[in-house]
Amino acid sequence: MNKDTKIYIAGHRGMVGSAVWRTLEKKGYTNLIGRSSKELDLKNQEAVLDFYHIEKPEVVIDAAAKVGGILANNNFPYQFLMENMQIQNNLIDSALKSGIDKFIFLGSSCIYPKFAPQPLKEEYLLTDSLEPTNEWYAIAKITGVKACQAIRKQFQKDYVSLMPTNLYGTHDNFDLKSSHVLPAMIRKFHEAKNNNHSDVVLWGSGTPMREFLFVDDMAEAVVYALENKLPEYLYNIGTGEDLTIKELAETIQEVTGHQGTIVWDADKPDGTPRKLMDISKMHNLGWKHKVDLKQGIEKTYTWFLENIENFKEVKL
């Protein structure tokens, strides 16, 4: 891999894609390309193939996806299934047809069965049923993993899938209608603090356990996969440590300075009881995360405050 290797980052304006872009730039990569959704509709097969033929990238990093939390997945199951499949199928198949030898596909830990043994190992994929609240997104991502595995098996190309745990960080989505748990909590606690430290109502019981990875650490894992030919088709990316949602809420409450009461709405769903990743495969290869959770939340909250003018369209 040379510093002038032409690398296309699909989804380069999203949280993960932008972090990958920044990390590559810091490491001296000079030939990065990206297209906004207005410039290139990844759901359009012909447009994606034409783009590859014109730009001729040597590597593709697929950080493009339709993403959201439990509420969004529940309300828009068809879009989460079909749009994600369209995006990744066009990117993967067109890369194969264009002779691109290296492809990094990014997914999510939700591909694993709801009640799989903990911590989640890569070999647990497709061994049991999924979490119903986000199975549409999970099924789409599983097809992407399997497509890359099939290309790797049949055509011997370096197509690899990285499955991160719950990601958070700068450039996250703080829209309360579609965001994941950590950024949603940051916004809720911040707005409650500014509303005379009013109560914060959170979904579920607070007992499920979750693992969180700062997005810059995810970007470092992507660069590791870029610069090395990984021996297997699927790798978990995470910290190997988890905590309860209640502990997460209390940490965010401390970071934001909220002094009110946390109220748990037990009528709302908890989701999967636990999702801890087994990251021994990546650790054995030499990659490890650097940012601990509280430090990452502090970085994220700082960025949120610096960009707060962009988040006023959604009110509590």
CA 36, 37, 39, 40 torsion-angle sign: positive
Q: Residue 316: what pLDDT?
A: 36
Asked whether residue 106 is marked as a ligand-binding residue, the answer is yes
Asked whether residue 107 is marked as a ligand-binding residue, the answer is yes
Token pair, residue 193, equals: 């603090």
Task: Answer yes or no: is 249 within a domain.
Answer: no
Asked whether residue 167 is marked as a ligand-binding residue, the answer is yes
Instruction: Say how many domains are in the chain.
Output: 1
Asked whether residue 141 is marked as a ligand-binding residue, the answer is yes
The CATH number that applies at residue 229 is 3.40.50.720
Q: Residue 309: what pLDDT?
A: 83
Asked whether residue 129 is marked as a ligand-binding residue, the answer is no
pLDDT tens column, 297-315: 999 999 999 998 876 544 4
Task: Output the CA torsion 64→37→76→203 (10° steps).
Answer: 60
- Residue ranges making up the domain that contains 40: 7-172+212-242+275-291
> Could you tell me which of 221, 188, 190 has the C-alpha nearest to residue 291?
221
Task: Answer yes or no: is 198 within a domain.
Answer: no
Is-contact 6 58, C-beta < 8 A? Answer: yes
Task: Answer yes or no: is 56 within a domain.
Answer: yes
- Active-site residue (options: 137, 168, 233, 301): 137
> Could you tell me which of 278, 276, 270 has the C-alpha nearest to residue 132?
270
> Could you tell me which of 188, 155, 210, 209 has the C-alpha nearest to residue 262?
188
Task: Answer yes or no: is 265 within a domain.
Answer: no
Q: Residue 315: what pLDDT?
A: 42
Task: Answer yes or no: is 66 within a domain.
Answer: yes
Instruction: Provide DSSP, 120-172.
Output: BPGGGTTSSPPPGGGHHHHHHHHHHHHHHHHHHHHH--EEEEEEE-EEE-TT-
Task: Answer yes or no: is 90 within a domain.
Answer: yes
Asked whether residue 210 is marked as a ligand-binding residue, the answer is yes
| Unique residue bearing structure tokens 């989701």 | 271
Asked whether residue 15 is marked as a ligand-binding residue, the answer is yes
Q: Angle CA(272)–CA(273)–CA(278) in degrees, nearest 5? A: 85
Asked whether residue 109 is marked as a ligand-binding residue, the answer is yes
Task: Answer yes or no: is 135 within a domain.
Answer: yes
Token pair, residue 72, equals: 């969004």
Token pair, residue 285, equals: 């290869």
Asked whether residue 27 is marked as a ligand-binding residue, the answer is no
Q: Confirm whether 168 is a catalytic residue.
A: no
List, for the chain, all residue ranges whose pLDDT scores fall below the cut of 50.
313-316
CA distance 132 to 115: 12
Amino acid at 262: I
- Identify the bridge partners of residue 244 per DSSP, sorted by sequence position: 209
